[in-house]
Structure 1
């Protein structure tokens, strides 16, 4: 990227999007941030904030004037509009970096990847392991006591810091050499959910421990949680069951290979977000 045309960050107020905006600014790039609610975006004054809704692709088209590169993640729990949004971007921008997701029940990751790589842009797809921020699903339980209850405690995951995802995305947005590539990102370690709770407790200075629930008990608990989308409950639990029954998790060095810095640990993530558990 050799000019100062803005880089468009769609879904900019989420955990990853906000990190990308921050890192692009720190590197000296002009940023245009897209959000459904521009008035509540709370970005610095040098970030251009504009409204756009992924469920209405025409609103994304209006954000693309003068843009060369676009970051896109898909926060919706249906992929029905993804192809239309990618087509809109491909007609106006040269480069697209897409953060894939396992949270779209009607569109597999492989289908997402095919949609993005087959649209004529310089495309990069990022396939992250489990987001470390997902441990905040336990925050209410941790505030209430020293027990975290859930299903599939033996499931190993490699939790990834949103700053590491953003660092890879920023390089794909701003450097050559990433076209047509899908990057699998993981954190530096594989931890069971039981071990994750222990790490959180160590950082917070509290003796947290895990209590195993059946799948049905966990399902009822999540459905009763007003902050958790009902449409994602079975997707999550089925995904956990499949992961537990599947092949062992393979860690990658992609974050270090691309950024030159090692992937951050869960301990580092909890240290950065300790206030969110209190």
Structure 2
């Protein structure tokens, strides 16, 4: 029997894909989740109960583990990650950390809160003695589901700020594919991979693309940052809201640079946002539309 790869955040958008990609390589996969009974992971995965924010829950999860995929589920898990890393370093050899492109390597102090949380943990990993790879995605395509699906399921208008902000949303398939390569191949040690989707799109463009995927014309309606601030605080922490509003305001005039990293690492071009929208079309359809349409979810 070979050594084990531990996947944290194994039931999330990226973690679940990492698990599946690793299984296809023949790896032994152990999935860490708070609720094993509802994990619904593929056969062949060893599912264990644990929570990064509760270090004592991780006892026994690292036996025979050679490599770890680390994903922060919340700021709380970032606070307790040092204890987890200390334990990992005693057992494992390699770690692949799902970090963030918000990090700026050209400054001493990160001013972006998301960048600071991830940069602080990157520094801890660098000092841990583990072989490491940092995967730094930009805008996640799947954010569109959390932000806009509630509005699209009940109407044809998305009310949101900074419609002209340009990002290059990346499919969770591509993030997972790069992570799986780094976990199972040599040659990725001490690499910092910045990942983006293949095309620049405004937020208004993304809404229109979702509409095309579900067969309904959708319209983007600009709202003020202050109105958005109140709306967004209903489902995300206020500090994160402030970071997003600031970032989007800059992206109107300074679009996200595009990288070709996904293709370079995997040999396959990154998926487009249109492909992502087709994969997740059912998440945006009204209940009546889903009942009359074949599922296209991936």
Aligned to 2:54: 56
Deviations 1:95-150 (A, max 9, x none): 10000145965934432322222211110000001110000120011111111011
1:77 to 75, 78, 91: 75
Is 1:252 aligned to residue 250 of structure 2?
no
Residue matched to 2:158: 148
User: Is the 8 Å Cα contact of residues 57 and 88 (structure 1) preserved in structure 2?
Assistant: no
* Contact 1:77/1:232 (<8 A) preserved: no
Could you say which residue in structure 2 is the equivalent of 1:222?
Answer: 232
Q: Secondary structure at the match of 1:263?
A: coil
- Indicate whether 1:118 and 2:118 are aligned: no
Gaps of 5+ in 2: 103-111, 286-298
Q: Is it true that 1:237 corresponds to 2:245 in the alignment?
A: yes
Over aligned residue pairs, what C-alpha RMSD do you find? 1.9
SS at match of 1:123: strand
Secondary structure of 2:153's aligned partner: helix
- SS where residue 124 of structure 1 aligns? strand
1:18-167 matches, within 5 Å, as 18-78=16-76, 79-101=78-100, 105=114, 107-136=116-145, 137-167=147-177
- Between 1:150-159 and 1:59-68, the stretch displaced more is 59-68
1:180 alignment partner in structure 2 = 190
Length, aligned pairs only: 273
2:207 corresponds to 1:197: yes
How far apart, CA to CA, are the structure 1 residues paired with 2:202 and 2:250?
15
CA 1:56–1:162 in structure 2 vs 1: closer, same or farther (change >3 Å)?
same
CA shift for structure 1 position 61: 4.2
Aligned residue for 1:43, secondary structure, equals coil
Match of 1:169 among 179, 193, 196: 179
SS at match of 1:31: strand
- The answer to whether the 8 Å contact 1:117/1:124 transfers is no
TM-score by length of 1: 0.92
Deviation at 1:194, TM superposition (A): 0.7
Distance of 2:266 and 2:32 partners within structure 1: 25
Instruction: Find out whether 1:264 has 2:271 as its counterpart.
Output: yes
Q: Deviations over 1:201-222 (max 9, x none)?
A: 1111111111001111011112
Distance (Å, rounded) in 2 between the aligned partners of 1:113 and 1:126: 11
TM-score, normalised to structure 2, is: 0.86
Distance, in Å, in 2 between the alignment partners of 1:106 and 1:167 is: 23
